[in-house]
Amino acid sequence: MKNETNSNPSNYGAVLRVSIVYMVFGFVMFMILGLLGLTMRLQQGNLITIEPTSFYSIMTFHGIGMISTALLIVIGGFAAVLGKSVSLNVKWLWIIFTFFFVGMGFVMFSTLIGGFAAGWTALYPLPFQGTWSEWAAVGTTVGIAFMLSGLLLYFGMVITFTSRAYGGLGRALAIRYLTSRGKNQDGPLPKPFEILGVAVSIPGLVCVAAGFVWLIPLWLQAGGLITGTDVLAMKNYDYLFGHLLANLTIYFAAGLLYFLLPIYTKRELKTTWPVALALNAAIVLLVVAYFHHLYQDFAQPLALSALGQIATYISTIPVLLVTIFSGLSHLYRAGIRWSATLVLIALGIWGWVFGGIGGILDSTIAINQVMHNTLWVPAHFHTYLLLGTLAFAWAFLFHVTHNVSQISESPRSKIAASLYGIGGAGFILVFFLSGALSIPRRMADYFPEWQPYAISAVPFIVTLGIGALWIGYEMFKRLRVAWRQTHVSLDPSTALE
């Protein structure tokens, strides 16, 4: 079964430019939000003093901002990958960027100036009962709505344009090939990252819908049109939206990995039957695994919790099969020459596995009863975001600036990538250790016996920051030339390869 490219988009240079803007803006936001993260750890270690209200505002912006930033970076990168074979609408891409930019602005101003400090998990009596004004809560929710609107456009674009390129949604998902156990295919077979894009965009639409189902009653309540909401239902929609949002980041990042690996290992990543099955399984498993967020709610049916645990366990199989196995087998004895991009790719695979194991443990009901609301949870999501999603994203951005500018890579950039990895690993290991010791999450003021753990994270964060800055420097010094090159006619079939 041969993978074929269906079209040869003429607007690829423009797509690549928008993609670069997404990722560079994301990098800048990552550094700013990372500084806020450092501020929180300094406060928890009692090395600086900030008011608890300010701490929780910072935490809210750091949390919503980082997840949005990670998503913006990976969907931007993914557009550059998908745009090679599928003709994307550049105008839409700019509008999606605008929605994210405006949305992040709302969240930033509403938290840092407005003092909104409820976090995105604004459970009853939040988000309106607090030390902040009602407008700060409204501002934050409007910001989230802007970002959701951007995502709605993005997912709609990926599904529509990829389906158009392959002659229908079924073909874009390789359904005929899948149902015939690999014997029949209906037209050209999409590449793995193309199937992935369409497959995860479907739960992406569920994420957007859940987000709005959560937001609209909040606005009605703020406007005085309704006096209250079903708080358990609101919690469920809030968490469904949040769960999917967080998971989408890593799946789109995996798309970047599927693109990069064959280039560096010179081994083709084909759409085989198991790969098509695993990618399509994500449509269902991504959503069903959400039930692991219900463990602490005694009012919810117990069967849903059991389903959550089982689905979470099953959801690891496609990831293991396609991303981890395939990634490692590509790297094994490929005769590769290590570069910063490859260091970041290897780091990303490690981060996904390690963060995933942390998540699987926490999704086990018996363990969750102990670990819930401890630092184990931030340990899990910081691992897969910082060392999984973002490691893949930086690898891709590094590759783009290096490849398009044609400026050779400095051997020292491998050190920068390694510093990022060492700093990141130390930082999250302290989180895991703290979680194992039942130190709670979301706490501004620590007891003296907890403070050494927060303090010990600081040197790792600084190392991580130096690594990130260095990577940024290496990327940005090539950026001007790369940007100019995007105006030169780029052949999409060979670009970035």
Partner 1 sequence: MRRFELEDSSKKKIAALFVFLSIIALIPLFLLFEESFSVHMALHLVLMFALAPALVGTQFFLWVFPPTIRAKLHQRLGALLTGYAVFSTPVIAFSLSTAFLWFSHVPAIFDATLTNDAFHAFIHFGLLATAVLYWQPLFYANKELPYLSTNESKVFYILASATQSALLGSLIAFSSTILFKGYLAMNNPSAVLMDQQLGGAIMLIAGAFPYTVAIFLSLQKE
**Footprint on this chain of partner 1 (rule: CB under 8 A):** 11, 14, 17-18, 21, 90-91, 94-95, 97-99, 101-102, 105-106, 109-110, 113-115, 132-133, 135-136, 138-139, 142, 146
Q: How far is the CB of 66 from partner 1 (least distance, A)?
A: 20
Q: Which is nearer to partner 1, 412 or 487 (CB)?
A: 487
Q: How far is the CB of 350 from partner 1 (least distance, A)?
A: 36
Q: Which is nearer to partner 1, 93 or 457 (CB)?
A: 93
- 268: how many CB neighbours lie within 10 A of its CB? 10
Tokens 């496609």 belong to residue:
318
Give the separation between CA 86 and CA 79, rounded to whole angstroms.
9
Q: How far is the CB of 43 from partner 1 (least distance, A)?
A: 22
Q: Which is nearer to partner 1, 106 or 394 (CB)?
A: 106
Phi, psi of 151 (to 5 degrees): -65, -40
Dihedral angle over CA of 385, 391, 393, 394, nearest 10: 130
Dihedral angle over CA of 77, 292, 64, 422, nearest 10: -60
Q: Which is nearer to partner 1, 90 or 496 (CB)?
A: 90
Distances (CA, A) of 284 to 204, 244, 257: 11, 11, 22
Q: How far is the CB of 13 from partner 1 (least distance, A)?
A: 8
Q: Which is nearer to partner 1, 15 or 38 (CB)?
A: 15
Give the separation between CA 184 and CA 72, rounded to whole angstroms.
36
Q: How far is the CB of 253 from partner 1 (least distance, A)?
A: 25
Q: State the alpha helices, DSSP H only, in 223-339.
A: 231-265, 273-288, 302-318, 326-331
Q: Which is nearer to partner 1, 87 or 389 (CB)?
A: 87
Residue by residue, DSSP assigns 78-92 as HHHHHTTTS---HHH
Q: How far is the CB of 91 from partner 1 (least distance, A)?
A: 5
Q: Which is nearer to partner 1, 14 or 279 (CB)?
A: 14
Q: Which is nearer to partner 1, 112 or 169 (CB)?
A: 112
Q: How far is the CB of 405 from partner 1 (least distance, A)?
A: 18
Structure tokens at 113: 């100036």
Give the separation between CA 228 and CA 226, rounded to whole angstroms.
6
Q: How many helices (H) and strands (E) does the chain have?
A: 17, 0
Residues 6+ away with beta carbon under 8 Å from 215: 141, 144, 145, 148
Give the separation between CA 385 and CA 249, rounded to whole angstroms.
8
Q: How far is the CB of 140 from partner 1 (least distance, A)?
A: 11
